Amino acid sequence: MVLLNDNANLFGVNPAVAEVADKFDFSRLWAYPSENSDVLRSKIGSEFGVSPDEVIVGNGSDELLDMTSKCFIDPGDKFCSPSPTFGMYRFYARVNLATICEKPLRPDFSMDADAILAERAKLTALCQPNNPTANLFDRRDVVRVLSESPGVVVLDEAYADFCGSNMLADAMAAPLTIDIRTFSKAYGLAGLRAGFAIARKEVVDELRRVRTPFGLNSFTEAVAARALDHRSWVRETVSRMKVERAYLDGRLKALGFRTYVSECNFLVAKSPVNGPALVAALRDRGVAVRDCNSFLMMDDHIRVTIGPRPMMDRFLAEVEAIIEDVRP
């Protein structure tokens, strides 16, 4: 399968993997890793200008989302997010028996900050830039939610490395905001499973109460720490991705798709033919893309991860053939 459905970095694996594997003392794997991944937290602290006490790491950022709900949701507490957004926020909130309040995005995919704040939720989640719509929300709207929410706010910046801006300073200015990042996207390490969150120490201390000890294995910790040194590799794959994103955008428009501005490593497009049927036909031909029909306002939309030209051309060739087949 050509996997254009999960927004991993299709431009390759971070060079940190080979470097660490070369020198790593595998004969010491009998020993437990450090309980709180101290080396990685210190490295993240110095890279992002925060104290290691303001950092917590997890097995992918998904584990941090899970911890956040475990920690801050009691049964019946309100969880709020815009919709559509990354589905795992709702999943973890539901597992912890939250009352779910989702506030629809406007038709231009902008966020209604007033509607979100009016819920006075115990936990709110924002994704900036947003998956699956690929846009950045207005900074002022995000700042309002971070600073005026009475509860904890998760600011998921999984795709921040693709858009060239982030809101860490705004997150740290708000006492109850948790800025969540991942090594799975621009850092090219989805298979490694590593993510981190930055928040004020009081909030990190609370999250630690629900964290499993020795949560990251020692190899993962070493690779993730080394990956932070490979900024130029990340920058280079991001700029290659942007060239391919512009190429795909033009080709899809020519095939009759409506495309949207993207700040991420994926493109959202409205299909000129039935969306779920297109996704199923692509799957039969060995290409996986995300069917967005289950999302509000996204009937017949697909989400395609950007990859190198041969992958984009393979996808486009299959799309062309399918559209030919279904058109009278």
Ligand X SMILES: Cc1ncc(COP(=O)(O)O)c(C=O)c1O
Burial of residue 74, with CB atoms counted within 10 A of its CB: 0-12 exposed, 13-18 middle, 19 or more buried: exposed
Judged by CB under 6 A, which stretch of 27-35, 54-62, 161-169, 197-205 contacts ligand X?
A: 54-62
| Smallest distance from ligand X to CB 76, Å | 25
DSSP 112: -
Sheet (strand 123-127) strand order: 55-58, 195-198, 177-182, 152-156, 123-127, 78-83, 99-104
Of 229, 210, 273, nearest in space to 65 by CA? 210
3-state DSSP call for residue 22? helix
Among 5, 7, 237, 265, binds ligand X (CB under 6 A): 7
Judged by CB under 6 A, which stretch of 55-63, 98-106, 211-219, 275-283 contacts ligand X?
A: 55-63
What's the CA gap between 153 and 180, in Å, rounded?
Answer: 10
Judged by CB under 6 A, which stretch of 59-67, 164-172, 293-301, 303-311 contacts ligand X?
A: 59-67
Instruction: Kindly state whether residue 14 participates in binding ligand X, applying the rule CB under 6 A.
Output: no
Nearer to ligand X, 224 or 252 (CB): 224
Judged by CB under 6 A, which stretch of 136-144, 182-190, 277-285, 287-295 contacts ligand X?
A: 182-190
Among 60, 188, 275, 307, binds ligand X (CB under 6 A): 60
What's the CA gap between 162 and 159, in Å, rounded?
Answer: 6
Residues 89-128 touching ligand X, rule: CB under 6 A, are 127
Instruction: Kindly state whether residue 61 participates in binding ligand X, applying the rule CB under 6 A.
Output: yes
What's the CA gap between 67 and 273, in Å, rounded?
Answer: 40
Among 184, 220, 259, 265, binds ligand X (CB under 6 A): 184
Binding mask 127-166 for ligand X (x = CB under 6 A): x---x------------------------x-x--------
CA dihedral 268, 274, 278, 284 (to 10 degrees): 150
Residues 194-253 touching ligand X, rule: CB under 6 A, are 195
DSSP strands (E only) in 11-108: 55-58, 78-83, 99-104
Nearer to ligand X, 228 or 281 (CB): 228
Residue type, 91: F
Among 79, 86, 257, 266, binds ligand X (CB under 6 A): 86
Nearer to ligand X, 13 or 316 (CB): 13
Query: Is the CB of residue 64 less than 8 Å from the CB of residue 56?
Result: yes
For tokens 């090594």, name the residue. 183
Among 5, 13, 55, 62, binds ligand X (CB under 6 A): 62
3-state DSSP call for residue 110? coil
Instruction: Kindly state whether residue 84 participates in binding ligand X, applying the rule CB under 6 A.
Output: no
Among 168, 190, 255, 273, binds ligand X (CB under 6 A): 190
Residues at the site binding ligand X, with contacts judged by CB under 6 A:
6-7, 60-62, 86, 127, 131, 156, 158, 182, 184, 190, 195
